[in-house]
Amino acid sequence: MTTSFGLDLPDYPWDRLTDFRRRAGEHPDGVCDLSIGTPVDPTPEVIRRALSEAGDAHGYPTTAGTTELREAIADWYEIWHSVTLDPAAEILPTVGSKEFVAWLPTLLGLRQRGLAVACPSAAYPTYEMGATIAGVDCVRLDAAEVAAGASLEGIGLLWINTPSNPTGEVLSTEILAEVVDRARAAGIVLASDECYGLLNWESNDPAPSVLSVAGESRSGVLSVYSMSKQSNLAGYRAAFVAGDADLIADLTRSRKHAGMIVPFPIQAAMIAGLRDTDHVLAQKQLYRSRRNLLRSGLENFGFRIDHSTAGLYLWSTTGQNCWDSLARLSELGIIAGPGEFYGEAASDHVRIALTATDERIAAAANRLSQAAG
């Protein structure tokens, strides 16, 4: 008799790229891996120094984070979004944003309440995986549909993502405000994943935060943010959530029981990164130059770029199925992310990341332009 243990989860989707990686690896000038948005540039010195200086961390850190960290996060929202938060009640650091996305449906007790998760039609896979881990259904529902009056019956958690991963679309304040009103009227939690918010290419201002339209109470609303993108901190697992004080209190209590705690040296590094804006602006400019070069090469090759007004990706299509596009790109030694990973609605797009070195971005752009003839 065979006994199965654990959750019945699908294989990790990126494993399906093995054959494309092998083909791309045959290119004489090497692979240009533009598939996963992991930072390649150095972590800023101001952050590394703070991490090192906090290395004597012999005691247990707190789940709620230090007072200094919560104040730095509150100041960050004030500086970038003109939102005033109570550091003691409306802020919680998390071990990266992915773990928070994955565990939020469970921590909200959606299964016990018989409620589902909703997320965008083209979305970061972890929203749906969080529902799977919690043992509840996931409904695909875009913010524009919610604003237009789509039913929210049976939903306990509504995820929105602005700027979007994978599409790079930024929701307007008008759409955000309508979604907030409808979620509150339905009595559901609205969580906004905003981790690409400072990488807005059509404005010097950040993409709007849901907290900018939520009002002073923040009732039922959470803003989720990660420092991985703005500060090259993916390896630090440095993120935070802000919003409804009652929700933050409940989540803090649950996370205490589960041991979900940001290590103290990481908290110190986060403070340094949040208080230094120079490195954020410099990194954005670096990504902007890579984006301009890569976009030109993709368009020369025949790709159409949709949305992509913010974030670290170019949402690209030739009108073909994403796997056909991946095959063509692999012949050039380029690897991209298949749209199918983000939902059926995305199956004719590929996600092409800006997170490669200047040299690899230039090589990819050159190969695309040369192949166009």
Q: Percent of the chain, pLDDT > 70? A: 96
How far apart are alpha carbons 7 and 85 in whole angstroms?
A: 38
Residue 14 has pLDDT above 70, yes or no: no
Q: pTM of the prediction?
A: 0.94
Residue 321 has pLDDT above 50, yes or no: yes
> Checking DSSP bridges between strand 350-353 and strand 337-338, what pairing results, if any?
antiparallel
> Checking DSSP bridges between strand 189-193 and strand 221-226, what pairing results, if any?
parallel
DSSP string, 142-196: -HHHHHTT---TTEEEEEEESS-TTT-----HHHHHHHHHHHHHHT-EEEEE-TT
Residue 332 has pLDDT above 90, yes or no: yes
What are the start-end ranges of the H helices in the chain? 18-24, 45-53, 67-81, 97-107, 110-113, 126-134, 143-147, 173-186, 228-231, 245-258, 264-275, 278-301, 322-331, 358-371
CA atoms within 13 A on the CB side of 12: 4
Which pLDDT score, from 0 to 100, does residue 57 have? 94
Which pLDDT score, from 0 to 100, does residue 36 have? 87
Split at pLDDT 50, 70, 90, the class of 1 is very low
pLDDT digits (tens, 9 = 90+) for 127-164: 999 999 999 999 999 999 999 999 999 999 999 999 99
How far apart are alpha carbons 69 and 85 in whole angstroms?
A: 13
Residues with Cβ < 8 Å from 174, sequence gap 6 or more?
Answer: 147
The total of other beta-carbon atoms located within 10 Å of residue 359's CB is 10
CB of 369 closer than 8 Å to CB of 297: yes
CB of 264 closer than 8 Å to CB of 61: yes
Local structure of 140: helix, strand or coil: strand
Average pLDDT over residues 91-99: 97
Q: Would you state the structure tokens that stand for residue 296, as one six-digit string?
A: 């030109």
Average pLDDT over residues 35-48: 94
How far apart are alpha carbons 101 and 124 in whole angstroms?
A: 10
ω into 163 cis (within 30 of 0): yes
Shortest CA distance to 233 belongs to which of 193, 211, 202, 265? 265
3-state SS track over 80-132:
HHCCCCCCCCCEEEEECHHHHHHHHHHHCCHHHHCCEEEECCCCCCHHHHHHH
Split at pLDDT 50, 70, 90, the class of 37 is confident
How far apart are alpha carbons 196 and 230 in whole angstroms?
A: 8
Local structure of 310: helix, strand or coil: strand
pLDDT digits (tens, 9 = 90+) for 262-301: 999 999 999 999 999 999 999 999 999 999 999 999 999 9
Which pLDDT score, from 0 to 100, does residue 372 have? 80
CB of 32 closer than 8 Å to CB of 364: yes
